[in-house]
Amino acid sequence: MTTPLICPSILASDFSKLGEEVRAITEAGADWVHIDVMDGHFVPNITIGPDVVKALRPHSNLPFDCHLMISPVDSFLEAFRNAGADYISLHPEAGPHLHRSLKYIRQLGAKAGVVLNPATPVEILDWVMDDIDLVLVMSVNPGFGGQSFIDGQLKKIEVIRKKLDAVGHHAILQVDGGVNAANAHLCVEAGATAMVAGTAVFKGGPSAYAANIKQLKGL
């Protein structure tokens, strides 16, 4: 079984010391830093903006994985790239022209990702395959951390895995929402190669982060 990338979501970290938390997960063996950006419009919550991403950038040499839950999204892409985002993922519903947005992310020098909500059909990927580096399957409805994993999304992961493999596509297949030690192996078995985890990583405080990440990797 492939060992997945673990991308701790700082949404579950201690916001009073974000820099320390990012350093801690970096030292604990995280592969990426996942940053959930919410605008209170596209999703019913507000988190952080590009200035916070910029402030965090010196605290880790890991890829910054920015999941933009904002609409309209296009006008913010350059700001997040300039702030230090290595991966920028967006929802098809967050702008009028998905293809153009993905092209623009790559023009900015970042990797481009598409995020599929639980009810978003996988067929939307068919027309942007040449423009994506990552597919993120939401296993909860976006907007809040700490939600329970939607088991039905495992089938969606399987379908996307087959779709990518059929054309020899090497996009990272990421899962986000309710991922924990009990279901992480199911995501990998379905075809996921990266997992976002919030509570499952940050529970227990910094001294537990390394063990939590190792457990999610199945090691």
**Binding-site residue set for a divalent metal cation:** 34, 36, 67, 176
Strands of the chain, DSSP E? 5-8, 33-38, 64-69, 87-90, 111-116, 134-138, 172-176, 194-197
The CA distance from 129 to 163, in Å, is 10
What residue spans of 89-150 are helical by DSSP H?
A: 98-107
Q: Which of 31, 39, 133, 176 is catalytic?
A: 176
- In the set 14, 31, 36, 151, the catalytic residue is 36
Let me know: does 215 contact 181? Beta carbons within 8 Å: yes
14 noted as active-site residue: no
Q: How many residues does the chain have?
A: 219
Residue 126 is a catalytic residue: no
Annotated binding residues for substrate, written as ranges, equal 9, 67, 143-146, 176-178, 198-199
Q: Which of 132, 197, 213 is nearest to 170 (CA)?
A: 132
Residue positions annotated with a catalytic role: 36, 176
